[in-house]
Structure 1
Amino acid sequence: MWKRLLSRLNKLRFMLWVLLLAVAVVIVGFEVRGKLAQSEANLKSLEAAEKISYPVTTVILKPQTWESWRSYYGQGKAARTQDVTAFEREIVRAVHVQVGDKVKAGQTVVTLLTADRGAKAQARRTGYDEALLNYNRLNELKKKGGVSQSAVDKAYAALKSEEALLKGSQSTLQRTELKASLNGIVSARNVEPGEVAEIGRPLISIVDPSNMEAQLMVSKKDIFNIGKQTSVDIYVDGVRSAGWVKRVSPEAQTGSGLYPVVVGLGSDANVLPGTYVEGRFLVEKKDNVIVIPSDVVVYRGNAQSVYVASGDVARSVEVVTGTGRDGKVVVTSGLEAGDELIVSGNRNLYDGVSIAKNLDFGEDRQY
């Protein structure tokens, strides 16, 4: 009996030790899992602390209208001018205007000597009067049968000849009064009384300042993009006014290789002959294109790329650019509307790096 009781006690004690051992194992397991979880959390915390997010500023790309203007230079000139010249070689009797004087169409500006021409005109007048009297006399005699019709016809022919000579002498006499053919201002006086006026030599130059234009010299690369419908702005001392293309020369000037383009000027341009002007031509216009700041483009050899935001990660995108001006450039391939372009903070970026968007990091950038 005692042996049986002792055996049961030993079994009970063994089971108690097994239970205690199992409880100890469970407790130790929980402690180990807790420490492992804590270690994992600490590791993740360290990894997060070591992970760098670069601050950047982004913009959402939208289609734009792209205009490319090109500047060319030249001088203003009057669209209507007159060089007063003599039809025959003669001595100048009087000059009636000075440089800067306003003149009207039909006003006499230079008078040539008329002594010889006046005498010739008077002689022609006398000859015409005699021929007229002779014709009238013979015509009356014919009516009475005193002369033949042929004599009258001969007298009529002589009358017409004298009439033509008289008109010619009168015309020559009138040409001694050299007149302005337009309203304007005297821009040059190249003769003085007593000098000889040579045939074709400009004596007085007159310009019409109410009708001004400018001749601008344009390079070959843009001449085919300029026509009468091309928009052009004129700048004089920084002041803008609208102009319009009047003529485009198809032939380049010898030496410079530039093509003359004549631009009409409005009255608000305040341009006088000889004034230097700047003309800005609209040589290119495109609608619905992507335009970006030129300084965000990264160049690696012949390749071009930009950084765009993909969530919280920067991605490098290859692009192809076109024309550019004023710090902006057209993208012809690689980007589209809706892309989120990184425009600031991209100096230290690389593909796949984490970013923190639209944070203030000390750069003042507008786009």
Structure 2
Amino acid sequence: MTMFKKKTIGLALLFIALAAGGVAFTQGKGKPEKKEEAPRKLEFAAADLAVATLRPLDQSISISGALQAVNHAALRSKVSAQVDSVLVREGEEVKAGQVLARFDASNIIAQLNERQSNLDMAKAELALAEKTHGKNQALQKQGFISGNAFDSSSSSLTVSQAKLKAIQAQVAVAKNAMDDMVLRAPIRGQISKRFIQPGEKVDQNSELFNIVDVSAMELQVAVPANQIANVAAGQQAEFQVDGFGSKVFNGTVQRINPEVEKNSRAIAVFLAVKNPAGTLRGGMFAKGQLALGVSQPKLTIPSAAVLGGSTDPYVYWLENGKIAQSKVKLGSSDERSGLTEITSGITAGAKVLARKMDGIKTGMVATAAAGG
């Protein structure tokens, strides 16, 4: 290849490179610059916001405790005897005065018969002594018997009267023992415990039955001593019982214990609970709220708007078109209405986020939709 041809090819390659470079330069210069994205703007519906408002707040305290029957009876044996028959079983309803069991009364019957015979003899002896004393009294007035003889008949009459009274007492004791051989229910209710079986021997004061009347129940709860001043007889409570789901029961404060429990520093409060259908049972656990009355107007927001828990509570709210965060101090709350008192941190009229929402940060641009 000649020198001329080599130079010609080199120049051609140079022009091609310059041309390509020019195109690349032109394309790079003409590429549009990336613009910054506009800040995200949030718009909240009316349901997303809540206005901090002054309003009366239903005051209440949380309560919990076990239900127990107002009327119950623990029956024990008054005699030492063998069980002859048992007429009821656990769970059965009984009426006051109904026979529950009978004991072997053969020994008591024999004693009663013996003492009854002694009583008949004592009555006869007394009648004879009265008749003799009457005759001697007439004879003594006529001077036919001595004073000693009259005193003797008078003494015999006194002894006969005393003997009769003693035997009458013995008969009464035997009859009472006879009554004790038949066990009767002292109250109406249901048999909750039966401790005896036919044929067994029971000692005096042995456990026999437990009877529970569940028509009227009582809920015992513990109230902190620093809140007892707000509790009074007649106040109403609502509570739920394990096993009944969301069903709500009602109770009324009936009694307040006059002493503070040493360990818990709480005071026992007893609520009367009507139970005509007998659905509630003794020992069931209940949990609810005791209403203390209505407070003066307080600044409140929905409890769901309070974030951070009770240790570090705060709320998100709208301030000058942006999301703001403020720490708040909490006062009392009403679980039934779902409202919580705010004692500091925001003022009346503040629009707070009514519940927890993901992705919310301080400084975000936000507005309320029309009507929000």
Q: Structure 1 length as normaliser, TM-score?
A: 0.68
Using a 3 Å threshold, how does the CA distance of structure 1 residues 294 and 117 change in structure 2: closer, same or farther?
Answer: closer
The amino acid across from 2:156 in the alignment is A
Residue 230, structure 1, aligned to residue 243, structure 2: no
> 1:213-271: CA deviations, max 9, x gaps?
334466667666544333211323121121123344445497x8876544322236721
TM superposition shift of 1:192? 0.8
8 Å contact 1:55–1:357 — kept in the other structure?
yes
1:341 matched to 2:351? The reply is yes
Aligned Cα RMSD in Å?
Answer: 3.9
1:131 alignment counterpart: 122
2:286 maps to 1:281: no
Distance in 1, Cα, partners of 2:41 & 2:51: 20
Q: Report the Cα offset of residue 164 of structure 1.
A: 1.4
What letter corresponds to residue 239 of structure 1 in structure 2?
A: K
- Cα distance, 1:129–1:78 mapped onto 2, change above 3 Å: same
Maintained 8 Å contact 1:185/1:208: yes
Cα distance per residue 1:145-170 (max 9 Å; x no partner): 17533332222122112111211111
Answering whether residue 207 of structure 2 is matched by residue 202 of structure 1, we say yes
1:188 correspondence with 2:189: no
Q: Distance in 1 between matches of 2:204 and 2:267?
A: 33
Equivalent residue in structure 1 for 2:99, among 95, 100, 108? 108
2:337 aligned with 1:329: no
Residue matched to 2:280? 271
Q: Name the CA distance, whole Å, in 2 between partners of 1:99 and 1:304.
A: 57
Cα distance in 1, alignment partners of residues 262 and 272 from structure 2: 20
Quick check: 1:94 aligned with 2:92? Answer: no
Distance of aligned partners of 1:251 and 1:108 in 2 relative to their CA distance in 1, 3 Å threshold: farther
1:3 equivalent in structure 2 = none
After TM superposition, list the pairs within 5 Å mapping 1:239-250 onto structure 2. 239-249=247-257, 250=259
Distance apart, 1:190 and its partner CA: 0.7
Matched with 1:38 is none
One of 163, 167, 174 as aligned partner of 1:162? 167
Question: Which whole-Å CA distance do the structure 2 matches of 1:176 and 1:69 have between them?
Answer: 53
> What amino acid maps onto 1:132 in structure 2?
K
Task: Give me the TM-score of the superposition, normalised by structure 2.
Answer: 0.67
| Contact residue 293 and residue 343 of structure 1 kept, 8 A | no
Conserved in 1, the CA contact under 8 Å of 2:190 and 2:213? Answer: yes
Rounded Cα–Cα distance in structure 2 between residues aligned with 1:77 and 1:295 = 36
Instruction: Tell whether the 8 Å contact from 2:50 to 2:302 is kept in structure 1 after alignment.
Output: no
2-structure distance, mates of 1:193, 1:50:
92
Which blocks of at least 5 consecutive residues in structure 2 are unaligned? Answer: 1-36, 138-149
Q: How far apart in 1 are the matches of 2:97 and 2:307?
A: 69
Equivalent-residue separation in structure 1 for 2:247 and 2:227 (angstroms): 24
Of 75, 81, 85, which aligns to 2:76? 85
Aligned identity (percent) is 20
1:188–1:297 CA distance, 2 compared to 1 (3 A): closer
1:18-37 correspondence runs (5 A): none
Gaps of 5+ in 1: 1-48, 361-365
